[in-house]
Amino acid sequence: MVHTILRRSVPATVAIVLCAALGFLTLRPSIATGEATRLAGRYSFESLDLNSAPPQARTERVVAPGLRDIRGWISAVGAAVALTDLRGLGHSGDVCLVDPRDDSVTLRPAPRSGGTPYPPVELRPSGGVPYDATMAPMGCVPADLDEDGDTDILVYYWGRSPVVFLNTRPGVPAAAGFTATELVEPMQVWNSTALNIADVDGDGHLDVLVGNYFPDGARVLDPTAADDSRMAMQHSMSLARNAGGNRILLGRPTGARDTLPRFTDAGTALDDDVARSWTLAFGLQDLTGDLLPEIYVANDFGPDFLLANESTPGHLRLRAVPGTRTLTMPKSKVLGHDSFKGMGVTFTYPGGTGLPMMMVSNITSEYALQESNFAFVPVGGPGELAFRDDSEELGLSRSGWAWDVKSGDFDNDGTDEILQATGFLKGEKDRWPELQELAMGNDDLLDLAGAWPNFGPGDDLSGHQHNPFWVRTPTGRYADLAPALGLDRPDVSRGFALGDVNGDGKLDAVVANQWENSRLLLNRSEGPPGIDLELVVPAAGGGTRAAVGAQVEITGPVRQKTQLYPANGHAGASASRVHLAAPTGSATGMVTWRDAAGTHSAPISLTAGRHTLLLGSDGTVATR
């Protein structure tokens, strides 16, 4: 009798133990106070407001009638930031900021950046470029698209296709110095949430990747669009493929100054599953050694994709690279098979060589939608694109409702730290029970906005989290030092831009916040200055442009590796410069790049401070 009772109770006991264990594992890992204090001693930041609330600042958007009951959800994105050097300071002291409180896109000097000050300059489409209240900016990316040696600003929106603001009067920014020009003709109704710049096909010219979210043509922000049949939410929480079409626009400069390149839409090279995903971020990185960028597509509501780049000039060829599942690996942690919510991606080289770790943001809210961030580490041989998620082992798996993620060396020791933006909807009434119920519901109802619970003013979904500051500890695991550094404000953040804004040789960060002031984290660490390296190539229209895609590998005294892809991630574009450590005051290594003539490589020897290297089409490197 006793044996029977024990036998019958074993399954229940095992279930209870498993539930308890799983509950314990969902708790965010912590670090001992003493150890956190010791590690935090290497870092110090001064937090400065970048902007203030505009007149009649709002906290939600006007939306289509069918979306009114979920306007809080629809209003949860739009803050974005970028760093650049428009004034010729020699460091990245100019900011492009998107503030959803008034849907403004402004250029402004970063606090403490030096140089000639100027009032904020608003970039707003005009001169025959259509723009109205049914359109709202989602991000900005600085790039010399017309290749005339001046930095232009590319702005992407909900409600219309992107607009290029051509820089026609270089120097201190002024509204009259930027001319609004359509990226695609005629203008189309896109709802874009991601945009990146690179030479994707290897022809030596910059191309544009656009990630679209709501279906093309859907008038998401039009209060008169009661009859818009194109408007739909995602049709699955884990396998949605009904978004707007992603585009890759191949550029060919005309050679004429202040004239936009001819762009060819090569989006047909994307499989339909990739093209119709709900994309929130692109990550570009050469993983095969040919200096063509592989593309990581981070998607909401379904699997991400890693695309191997096998293109030739003018001809795009991309191939999805799936991961391999082992017996003990959950399907959702396999590259290309996850069912999570990819929100951002960054690349970092902890050992300073080989292939990078790819960190991807997901929703990881405790006692809510507990998915997992990814830390995909390379596990294959040379040239083999094989990655395994080690986020749990590295302490990076949980952080909150995460968005943009950026890696950079803030203490100039040769190893990157990682910043992650978190938070969704800030309020007082917890709406996670309703969202959990929706997530467990029938996918056949999910694309109907009327089937969603209400999300409006006062509602909260992970709205009081802080942005982690991940530091690699001596054990190889990462620890969040934001609380120890006083960086644990409960802001709802979307994007980061990294760069040296004041020219002191230390990496700073600008944080774009949703519905509240954005911030500059000015690096006040006491460590040695690093190397702020500008890499440029000859521009087709004269002058030089950033050598996007160039790679620097430092072999001594500390091994380091980095590639120049400033617009990687979600809602943040970092400075078009490479930041390196020089703990002994100098560093040696190699720079490699690609242009229309092919691939090149040259040795470099650098000292701490600012440098500009002109990478020639003949393979030579000139210091400027």
Q: In this predicted model, what pLDDT tens digit does every residue of 332-367 receive, in sequence order?
A: 999 999 989 999 999 999 999 999 999 999 999 988
pLDDT for the residue 16: 39
* The dihedral sign for the CA sequence 242, 341, 210, 154: positive
Q: Which residues have CB under 8 Å from 303's CB, separation 6+?
A: 239, 277, 336, 337, 338, 339
Instruction: Please state, for a pLDDT cut of 90, what percent of the chain lies above it.
Output: 88
Helix, strand, coil percentages in the chain from 3-state DSSP, rounded to 5 = 10, 35, 50
Contact 279, 243 (CB under 8 A): yes
Whole-angstrom distance, CA of residue 408 vs CA of residue 416: 5
Kindly report the backbone phi and psi dihedral angles of residue 232, in degrees, each rounded to the nearest multiple of 5, phi listed first: -155, 145
Query: What's the pLDDT score for residue 26?
Result: 45
**Which residues lie below 8 Å from residue 173, measured CB to CB, with a gap of 6+?**
86, 87, 94, 107, 118, 121
pLDDT at residue number 233: 97
Six token digits for residue 120: 């904020």
Closest CA to 105 of 173, 196, 182, 184: 173
Question: 286, 192 in Cβ contact below 8 A?
Answer: no
Backbone angles phi, psi at 17, to 5 degrees: -60, -45
- pLDDT score of 29: 55
Indicate the length of the chain as a whole number: 624
| pLDDT at residue number 34 | 80
Q: What pLDDT, on a 0 to 100 scale, did the predictor assign at position 35?
A: 86
* Assessment of whether the complete model's pTM goes beyond 0.85: yes
Nearest alpha carbon to residue 500 among 142, 92, 97: 92
What is the model's pLDDT at position 28? 52
For residue 579, the one-letter residue type is: H
Average pLDDT score, the chain: 93
- Contact call for residues 301 and 236 (beta carbons, < 8 A): yes
Q: 3-class DSSP state for residue 246?
A: coil
Find the radius of gyration of the CA atoms of the chain.
24
Q: Which residue has the higher pLDDT, 26 or 571?
A: 571
Q: Which amino acid makes up residue 236?
A: S
pLDDT at 367: 84
pLDDT band, very low/low/confident/very high, at 370 (cuts 50, 70, 90)? confident
| Secondary structure in 3-state letters for 15-59 | HHHHHHHHHHHCCCCCCCHHHHHHHHCCCCEEEEECCCCCCCCCC
Supply the DSSP symbol for 454: P
* 77 contacts 444 by C-beta, under 8 angstroms: no
d(CA 421, CA 380): 30
Give the C-alpha separation, 371 to 82, whole Å.
Answer: 29
pLDDT (average), residues 218-238: 95
Average pLDDT over every residue of 67-96:
97
Question: What's 70's DSSP letter?
Answer: G
pLDDT at 13 over 60: no
- ω into 557 cis (within 30 of 0): yes
pLDDT per residue as tens digits for the range 285-327: 999 999 999 999 999 999 999 999 999 999 999 999 999 999 8
pLDDT value at residue 624: 86
Mean pLDDT on 147-176: 97
pLDDT at residue 568 in the model: 98
Q: pLDDT tens digit string along 458-483?
A: 999 999 999 999 999 999 999 999 99
- For residue 11, pLDDT over 90 is answered with no
pLDDT for 212 equals 98
Q: Which residues pair with 512 in a beta bridge?
A: 495
Position 383 scores a pLDDT of 75
Residue pair 169/176 in contact (Cβ under 8 Å)? The answer is: yes
Reported as a pLDDT band with limits 50, 70 and 90, residue 1 is very low
Distance of alpha carbon 190 from alpha carbon 249, whole angstroms:
14
Dihedral over Cα of 10, 13, 17, 23: its sign: positive
| DSSP 3-state of 395 | coil
pLDDT tens per residue across span 180-203: 999 999 999 999 999 999 999 999
Q: Which of 143-147, 166-170, 539-543 has the lowest mean pLDDT?
A: 539-543
Burial 449-477 (b: 16+ CB within 10 A, else e): beebeebbeebbbbbebbbbbbbbbeeee
**Whole-angstrom distance, CA of residue 432 vs CA of residue 438:** 10
- CB-count burial class (<10 Å; 0-12, 13-18, 19+) for 255: middle
